[in-house]
Amino acid sequence: MKAVAFSVKPFEKEYLAKANQKKHDITLISNPLGVDTAVYAEGKNAVIVTEDDDLSAPVAEQLAALGIQFIVTRSAGTGHLDKTALTSHGIKIANIQNYPPGGPLLANEALQEIADQTIKSLDLWSLNKCVGQVCACAKDCNKTTPEKTV
């Protein structure tokens, strides 16, 4: 899968590369996603974002016109996503799950877990499978096990 990751901080690059293991063609850029930078998604299947990125209706429309099919947010929250606009364009959305119980993770472990969950969503989508509990669509999409196809 071809993807572009927006708002990537220098310290995140190592974790995303380790999680990806060269499975997906991911372009890492530091620019935030917005109406002026959505063009960087041209030729990609997926966009990887953070809470700092603009995923409003106008940006959703731009991404859909560029052929984006998937968005993964590197956050547990989804309040920054216009889920209705994104899903109306047929764009599937995933977020990271909350950290497992048992206490807070160390900073490096947390960053690696975020990267791992981000890449796992891309892995499942590239196999035409459901992302399960990390599905974040506006219609409360199918939150079944990841093995179920979409």
pLDDT digits (tens, 9 = 90+) for 92-108: 999 988 654 444 556 78
- Our measurement of the distance from residue 60's CA atom to the centroid of its chain's CA atoms, rounded to an integer in Å, reads 14
Q: HSE (CB half, 13 Å, CA atoms) of 150? A: 22
According to DSSP, residue 52 is labeled T
Contact 44, 69 (CB under 8 A): no
What stretches in the chain show pLDDT beneath 70?
A: 98-106, 138-150
* pLDDT value at residue 97: 82
Q: What is the pTM of this model?
A: 0.87
* pLDDT value at residue 98: 64
* Interacting residues of 14 by C-beta distance below 8 A, sequence separation 6+: none
For 114-130, b/e burial (b = at least 16 CB within 10 A) is: bbebbbbbbbbbeeeeb
Alpha helices in 66-106 (DSSP H): 83-88
* pLDDT value at residue 150: 45
* Interacting residues of 46 by C-beta distance below 8 A, sequence separation 6+: 1, 2, 3, 4, 24, 68, 69, 70, 71, 72, 122, 125
